[in-house]
Each structure stands twice: as structure tokens, then as C-alpha cells.
Structure 1
Amino acid sequence: MSMTTGDLTQGLPRFDLPDLAVRLPVPDIAPWRAGNVGIPGVWTQAAAEPGPHLLVSTLVHGNEISGALLATRWLREGVRPRRGRLTFLFANLAAFDLFDPGDPTASRFVDEDMNRLWAPVALAGGRRSVELERVRALLPVVRQADVLLDLHSMLWPSDPLFLAGTGLEARSLGRLVGTPPLVVGDDGHAAGLRMIDHPRFGQDGARGLLLEAGPHWQPETLAQMEVAAARVLRLLGMAEDGAPIAPDVLVAPGRVARVTRTVTAATGGFAFLRDYRGGDIIARRNTLIALDGEAEIRTPHDDCLLVMPSPRVMRGHTAVRLARFEG
């Protein structure tokens, strides 16, 4: 007897939330919250010698505290640029103020995801929300950056990676950083543009990298952020001798993959057929990996890389990105 798509949904795995233990302290951003450029949460330092402007962004999601821990330590220990300008951004202050280690997933945002709001047409419109107003306030800072390193962590199991949008120069920088060793070029989310997708990072050689450094609230994620950020600082010629940052590491250039399909959940019944994690490679094209209501989700090519699959995904949100390695 033949099986229908509905039959396939029987016995699908039910994915429990991963470990939600918060094994990092809540960062104290109070000394830098007022900022020093007239915008709360923006702290910038310039060297006498000209050079690039590196923007290190944290707390775009209010519960992703690892980046803020790195930024506050570097500020506290006096990390300054040897040349150019180094700016630290504590982005979603309102959401961070709601962070509770006892319920750490609840403060990702207040009204809406801040990392879907960077399209110029949305920012120029009349719609209002806590996050939209904050993004509008931060636009002058973003428009001045030559390099953006946007620090994030992940809820669902995945190998660390850089997301580089569509920019070739951003992918090249991520590859040179080499840690984590994977750089993914993609077109973003159907729900809206990320900070790295803002048009600034396709102009005048400006580059935007989003680092997904590892699981939320874990020491290894903070360590990965620091190694990567220190590598970026050195590659830009901005690290002072003896700066209190992670030691340089000898790593091979990273591997680049390009997203060939972004799978957006069309129904509330999206479900993977088994327990995948980000970084899994599906060897054969046309392999059935998920069901979206009655629609089958299959790999479009051999050696298909799964980028950050989300076992629990709402309709209209990204469920997984499917990518092909380049070279």
C-alpha cells in the first residue's frame, strides 16, 4: 500500500527545547549605557592614525548576552584601536532590560525582531515599535561603519559560522578570519533585512559579518566570539601591541558556502523528519528532510549543507537554509 504525505507525519520527532541553563553572568553595561556620542548604548574610540571604522554590535537580541560580556570586558580593560575607530554597540537596550536568567528565551525583543528591520523603506515609513525606533536612532552609527561584526548566539544545536549576506568582500573577510571555519553567503530572511543586509554594507567596500558563535549563555560561545573579534581587529591592523584580547591563532582560511534555497515555513505544521543540527551535510540531492503541511522539503543538490535548522518554527519564519560549498 502506498503512503501519503499525511502518513509520513506519523511518528515525526518532537523536538524539546535545548538546555536553557545560563552559565554566564549577566553583563553590567551601566558604565557605558549612556554612550559617548549622544546615542545611548554607543561607545566609540578613535586613534590618531587614520584607518577603518569597526563596529562591534551586541544585544541585537536582548537575551544574547555573550557579545555584551565581550564588549564590556574590552571596554573595562581599555582595548583601543591602534588606528581608525572602534565602536561598541549595545543595540536592544529595552529587551536586554527584561532579561531574566530564569526565563532566558523571553527577552529576545520587546515588540519585534530587531534584526528584520533594516530595509530603508521600512525605516522611512510611519510604522512604530520599540525596535523600529531604536533602529532609526542607530542608523547614523551603522552608516559610518566600514566593517560590521554583529555578535550573536544560537538556541538550536549548530556549528558556529559567519553569515555574510550577498557581499563578496564580506565573505572574503570571514574566510580570512578562519574561526569559525565556515562562512555562509545568503540573501537573508523573507521577514526582513538584517543589519548586515543594510545597503551600507554594499557600498565603498564596507563589509558586514554576522557571527553565530555557538549556543546561548555558554562559556565556549563567549570564547569563540573573542577569538573571532580579536582576529578581525588584527586583520584590520587595529590591534595595539599587548592589547588584552585573545591571543592570535594560526588557522587555515575558512570554507565558503552559498545558500541555494531559504526555506520559509508556509504553515504552522512545519516538521523535520529527523533531528538535524546546523552543519549537517546531506549527501544526495532530492533527499526528503522535512514536511511543511502537505509540501515536501527536499535537498536541491548533492552535499547539501543545512544552515541553522529550527525544529520549532512559526509560519513566515526561516526554517532552514540549504547551501552549496564553493570550491
Structure 2
Amino acid sequence: MASEFPVRIPVPDLSDAARGNTGIPGVWRFESGLAGPHAVIVALMHGNEFAAASVLARWLRAGLRPRRGTLSLVFANLDAFARFDPEDPTLSRYVDEDLNRLWSPAFLEGKRDSLELRRARALRPAVEAADALLDLHSMLWPSEPLVLAGRKPAARDLALAMGAGAAVVLDGDHPEGPRLIDHPCFAAPESPRLALLAEAGLHWEPGTEAMAEACATGFLRALGLAEPAPPAPPGECWTVTRAVAAASRQFTFAEPFRGGTVIPRAGTLIARDGEAEVRTPHDDCMLVMPSPRVMRGHVAVRLARRDGA
């Protein structure tokens, strides 16, 4: 039986990438010998999101090195990736729990155990060494690419400087658990460190790999670790105004919205949650990553306003 979600890109061979050169499997570090920031690029936070891992593995084979500063490449959830099955590609997102909901000291230093928690604890030194971090993801449901930049103005500026052609979205903490970009070493207002999360497109489509590479390359250029490129047109920036969590098991969208859709008028019906209606709270309302199948208590969509509107 064919999968509902066809896999249209090759599953990469990550056996070499999984070795690493730091003593932590899947973690590579390259120093230029010249002063500059330490940039960390993470792929494979979820085991079935391997488009960006293909990019980083190709960079390793090509011998990519930073022109200044330090570059680390991280292949995060290798155990989940090892379980990937193209016939049922959604099942290998994680083994025990979502690796991207564990990034707080309370979890990392607590007593609870899981495969993903052990991996997060192992990756913690590589993550916390970053001056700037880019976490590369892809999406299950149709959406335009975007870069999530938290709330810090410096992170917003870095995301815009990448020039990858993806909308920049400023959001707050994730209600389902702390993502890597929510780690206090990046998210705390007083910290000079920055973290971005790029959603490069649909999980298993060829264009997603190209967008992941554009984001990663733009990130290195913006930090001065790669050769500069001609300036790109300024991107759009949006701020999340509301995260809509499903209060019932009957949450349904009014139509099959694509992520990145902008609803022109406030008060437009976008979903029903049991007997309740969900309407846009303001004009020019972007739907950020709507999920047509959502469990009660989980975020179904985030709503965002264009900066300056």
C-alpha cells in the first residue's frame, strides 16, 4: 500500500556523517584558526526530516570549512533516522519522545530518562558552545518556507540577513515544550547568543533540500563564515499574535489552508473547534503551519501579523 506521504528524495547514507570528530557521534567541529563566531548548524532533529541532513553530509564530503571562526555540524536524532521506512515515513520522527521539546535545564538536568533525553544531554555541550545556531527542519503539511526567530531583535536581524527567501516569523515559547531555539542560552533576553529554526518545505520534496541549503549558506554568509553574496531583496517579517490549540477532538479548518496563507480581513472564519468558531483576530493574518490533524491540547495553527501593520 502506497504511503499517503510519498518520499520523492533519496534517503541519504549517513554512516560516515554519524561518526563525528568530537567524541560525540554525529557532531563535527571545524576551526578556521581565525577570529570569528562559532556557528552551529543542526539537522535531523526529527528522524524523518532528512533533507537538511543530506545537505550537511554533502558538505562534509566536499570538505567545507569556515573562512573564519568555527563551524559545527550536528546530526541530531540518528537513532530515529535509522528506523526510517519510506512505506510509513511519519513513524520515525522520534523513538521515545520529541527531541525538540526537551531543551530546558529542568529536563536536561532532571531524573527522567528516554532515548531522546540521553541524546539531548549528549548534544548539550555542542549546542551551548554556539554563538549562533541554525536548526534545520521540514514540514509534513503544505506550507511556504519560513524561519522562526523567537523574540530577540538580533535574531530577527540575523534571519533577515540570511536572504534565503523565506518569511521570518517572530514567535514565543512553544506551548508543547521547549524547542532548541527556546533553550535559555539563546532565548534569555540578556544572552548575546542567537538561535533560528528554519522550516524548509515539505519533508520529502526535492525543493526542500535546496531551500535547506539556501538557509544554511545564508546563515554562514551572514556570520562571515562563508564568502559573501550579492544582497538579496529584504524579506517579510511577521509576529505571532496567537497560538490556537485544539480544545476538542473536533477541530477542523474551514478549508484546506496552506501554511503562509494570508487572510485579508479580521473576523474571517478559519476553523471550528467543536461548537466554537476560530476567526482571524486582525487584518492581514498569516496562518503559520496549520495542521489539519491535531490532537486535543496541541497547537493547530499560529496566527501572525505583518511587522509594521
Matched, 1:117 2:102: yes
What's the counterpart of residue 273 of structure 2? 292
* TM-superposed deviation, 1:19: 5.8
Is 1:81–1:240's contact at 8 Å kept on the other side of the alignment?
Answer: no
Residues 249 and 131 (structure 1), Cα distance of their counterparts in 2 relative to 1, 3 Å cut = farther
Residue type of the alignment partner of 1:212: E
Match runs of 1:1-327 below 5 Å: 20-202=5-187, 203-239=190-226, 248=229, 250-327=231-308
Residues 264 and 249 (structure 1), Cα distance of their counterparts in 2 relative to 1, 3 Å cut = farther
Q: Distance in 1 between matches of 2:306 and 2:243?
A: 15
Residue type of the alignment partner of 2:29: T
* TM-superposed deviation, 1:99: 0.6
Q: Distance in 1 between matches of 2:46 and 2:230?
A: 29
Residue type of the alignment partner of 2:268: T
Deviations 1:50-93 (A, max 9, x none): 21111110110000010110000000001000111111111011
* TM-superposed deviation, 1:178: 2.4
Instruction: Give the number of aligned pairs.
Output: 305
- SS of the residue aligned with 2:16? helix
Structure 1 regions of 5+ residues with no counterpart? 1-16, 242-247
Residue type of the alignment partner of 2:120: V
Q: Distance in 2 between matches of 1:297 and 1:124?
A: 39
Residue type of the alignment partner of 1:106: L
180-189 vs 252-261, which moves further: 180-189
Q: Distance in 1 between matches of 2:162 and 2:68?
A: 19
286-295 vs 36-45, which moves further: 286-295
Q: Distance in 2 between matches of 1:39 and 1:186?
A: 31
Structure 2 regions of 5+ residues with no counterpart? none
Is 2:3–2:88's contact at 8 Å kept on the other side of the alignment?
Answer: no
Residue type of the alignment partner of 2:80: A
Residues 19 and 227 (structure 1), Cα distance of their counterparts in 2 relative to 1, 3 Å cut = farther
Is 2:162–2:219's contact at 8 Å kept on the other side of the alignment?
Answer: yes
Normalising by structure 2, report the TM-score: 0.94
Asked which structure has the greater CA Rg, the reply is 1
Residues 42 and 86 (structure 1), Cα distance of their counterparts in 2 relative to 1, 3 Å cut = same
Task: State the Cα RMSD in Å.
Answer: 1.7
Is 1:259–1:322's contact at 8 Å kept on the other side of the alignment?
Answer: yes
Deviations 1:221-275 (A, max 9, x none): 101111221111112111159xxxxxx4642121110000011112222111111
Is 2:162–2:221's contact at 8 Å kept on the other side of the alignment?
Answer: no
Is 1:18–1:156's contact at 8 Å kept on the other side of the alignment?
Answer: no
Is 2:151–2:172's contact at 8 Å kept on the other side of the alignment?
Answer: yes
- SS of the residue aligned with 2:217? helix
